[in-house]
Every structure is written in C-alpha cells, then in structure tokens.
Amino acid sequence: MTTTISALAATAGLLLFVFAMLSAAVSDLTTYKIRNNLILTLLLAYLLFAPIVGIPAQEIGRSAAVASAVLLLSFGFFVAGWIGGGDAKLAAVTTLWLGADHALAYFVFLSLLGGVLAAIVFFCRRCPLPDRVANMSWIARLRARAQGAELPYGVALTLRAAVDAVGGRHDLEDLERCCSVLFF
C-alpha cells in the first residue's frame, strides 16, 4: 500500500511540476511575468510530495540549502538587471525539485540553452515577419524589447527542467561527454 501511495504521489508530483513549468514558460514568453502563486505552488507541492515519495529529510535539507543559494545568486542577477524576478524565483524552486546533486550540471546546461534562446530571440527580433504574425500581441511585445536585453528566460528554465524531469537527469558525466564532443 505504501509503495502504491508513493508511486501515485511521484506521478502526481511529476505532472504538477511539468504543468507548472510549462505554465511559467508560456506566461514568461507572453507577458514577461511569472506569477508568485505559481512559484508558491511549486514550493508547497515539493514540500508535500518529497517526503511521501521517500526522499530522505537530509536530501530535502540539502536541496533546500542549494535552492536558497541559487535564490541569493539569482536575486543578485535580478538586481543587476540580467534576469527578471520571476526567473530568479523559478530557478530556485526548480533547483529544489531537481535536487542538490544535479544543480551544477543543470545550470551549466541551462547556460548553454539560455545562449541558444538569446540567439533565437535576437534573430526573431531582427527578421521580418508577416503582419499577421507580427501583430499578435505577445510577439509584438517580444519584438518591442529589441532595444533592451530582456529575454523570457523562464522558457529556458522550463525546457531544461523538462528534459531532467521527463527525460532523466543529466549529471556531470553527461556534461563532460557533451563538452568532449563539442570541443575535442
């Protein structure tokens, strides 16, 4: 019975995580905002589901400590104007969900994905679009930011987290393999 409850909680937690992350990405892409209630939902859901699925208290504590450090660091990025406040909070709560052991690899891969996102947005801001597409409110808003460096970084956070949550976590060995293919 305990195994069944644990399996159901794990499935429910995964579905909630993926849905919330996709919601954050769409919201960030279309409005440049990630709602606080979404961040709080992710936080409370983690605190509810983690013990039920059998994550030891020590691991929950380590993940919370790393997520707190990520929040402090990303808040510094927010103050510097490099990312939005919602992005900073989403990065921290995502770290909590993915776990302390996977944080470094997550952020290294995220940096690469963020660079790809920046290149795509840069290109899209400069290429001509048909009026029908260019006049869509969210695309017009995204293109109007051409003078600034603003990016909907929640999209990159979500894509990277979805790869980990659905496709399996990637650790430093995967990073080393990736770098050896790219640079050697």
Q: Are 32 and 150 in contact (CB under 8 A)?
A: yes
The two structure tokens encoding residue 137: 């409110």
Place 183 in a pLDDT band, splitting at 50, 70 and 90. very low
pLDDT digits (tens, 9 = 90+) for 126-149: 888 888 887 888 777 777 765 455
pLDDT at 39 over 80: yes
Place 178 in a pLDDT band, splitting at 50, 70 and 90. very low
Beta-sheet strands, E only, within the chain: none
115 vs 163, higher pLDDT: 115
- The residue behind tokens 């944080």 is 103
User: Whole-angstrom Cα distance, residue 161 to residue 156?
Assistant: 8
pLDDT at 37 over 80: yes
pLDDT at 180 over 70: no
Q: Are 29 and 138 in contact (CB under 8 A)?
A: yes
Which residues contact residue 171 at a Cβ distance below 8 angstroms, ignoring those fewer than 6 apart? 101, 102, 105
Q: Are 86 and 28 in contact (CB under 8 A)?
A: yes
Q: 136 phi and psi, to 5 degrees?
A: -65, 135
Among the ranges given (2-11, 18-27, 112-121), the one the predictor scored with the smallest mean pLDDT: 2-11
Place 179 in a pLDDT band, splitting at 50, 70 and 90. very low
pLDDT at 173 over 90: no
Q: Whole-model pTM?
A: 0.81
Q: Which residues of 108-124 are buried (b: 16+ CB within 10 A; e: fewer)?
A: ebbeebbeebeeebeee
Among 38, 40, 58, 48, residue whose Cα is nearest residue 13: 48
51 vs 3, higher pLDDT: 51
Distance of CA 135 to the CA centre of its chain: 28
